[in-house]
């Protein structure tokens, strides 16, 4: 039933037991396939620049509000500028066993008072794309945010960025709609597609992601046996307890 106040107006559910979460710490997150390390330009910068430079063109930068960077020095200058910020809070994604950063991700628009947090600034090198480490990086950030007590986890992207939209859906995000002419960047207008996961969905989605990430779901060559969408596409029907 919808709650009503003393004026017989419909109002939202009470949050009498909800506790405002804290801002995520600048601390590493460890997984089986990868490790998320707080961005350190001196430690991670060269590896990131070389990983991105391995591409034949600069198409990875099309939907980011910065880049491409012509030189390592230019890229390091940008990294140094963002690495000290707390919002966005950047992490380097380091596949286990390599010791070299292969991508970036961040928390941003962190609003403890609303219990809302966003993931963004995603830039996965070719080495990282379509790997268990890439998915696990997103899982680790999700898990950390919900364990801190956040109620809403957001993913936003240019509405024309089809690969980003597809990735959000594979990970279990719900599409919420398009904010028209929401952003101006690189001299063009952007409609923004909004996606989210809320805390009531997380326990079951967590089980779905963990089932896909389990080493048993991969053969000796690291090839998945079942697709991520096989788990997350029906996560709402999975059992909520072990």
Ordered by start, the domain boundaries in the chain are: 25-237
**Distance (Å) of CA 200 to CA 149, 158, 208, 241:** 11, 27, 14, 14
CA distance 44 to 19: 35
Q: pLDDT at position 199, please?
A: 96
pTM of the predicted protein model = 0.93
- Provide block-wise average pLDDT over 10 residues at a time, the chain (242 residues): 92 92 97 97 97 92 96 97 96 95 98 98 96 97 98 98 96 96 97 97 95 92 89 61 40
Q: pLDDT at position 235, please?
A: 63
Q: pLDDT at position 111, please?
A: 98
Q: pLDDT at position 237, please?
A: 52
Q: pLDDT at position 238, please?
A: 47
Q: pLDDT at position 233, please?
A: 79
Q: pLDDT at position 222, please?
A: 83
CA distance 69 to 56: 14
Q: pLDDT at position 107, please?
A: 98
The answer to whether 60 and 72 have CB atoms below 8 angstroms apart is no
Which tokens go with 102?
């292969």
Topology, domain 25-237: Aminopeptidase (3.40.630)
């Amino acid at each position: 039933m919808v709650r009503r106040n003393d004026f017989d107006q419909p109002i939202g559910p009470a949050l009498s037991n909800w506790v405002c979460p804290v801002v995520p710490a600048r601390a590493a997150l460890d997984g089986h396939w990868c490790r998320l390390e707080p961005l350190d330009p001196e430690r991670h910068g060269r590896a990131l620049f070389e990983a991105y430079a391995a591409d034949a063109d600069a198409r990875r930068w099309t939907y980011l509000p910065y880049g491409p960077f012509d030189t390592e020095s230019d890229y390091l200058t940008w990294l140094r500028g963002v690495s000290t910020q707390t919002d966005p809070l950047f992490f380097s994604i380091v596949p286990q066993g390599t010791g070299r950063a292969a991508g970036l991700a961040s928390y941003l628009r962190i609003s403890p008072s609303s219990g809302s947090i966003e993931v963004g600034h995603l830039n996965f090198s070719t080495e990282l794309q379509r790997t268990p480490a890439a998915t696990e990086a997103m899982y680790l950030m999700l898990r950390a945010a919900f364990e801190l007590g956040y109620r809403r986890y957001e993913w936003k992207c240019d509405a024309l960025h089809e690969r980003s939209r597809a990735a959000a859906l594979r990970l279990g995000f719900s599409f919420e709609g398009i904010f028209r002419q929401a952003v101006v960047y690189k001299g063009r207008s952007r409609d923004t597609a909004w996606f989210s996961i809320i805390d009531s969905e997380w326990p079951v989605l967590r089980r779905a992601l963990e089932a896909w990430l389990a080493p048993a779901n991969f053969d000796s060559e690291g090839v998945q046996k079942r697709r991520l969408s096989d788990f997350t596409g029906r996560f709402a029907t999975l059992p909520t307890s072990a």
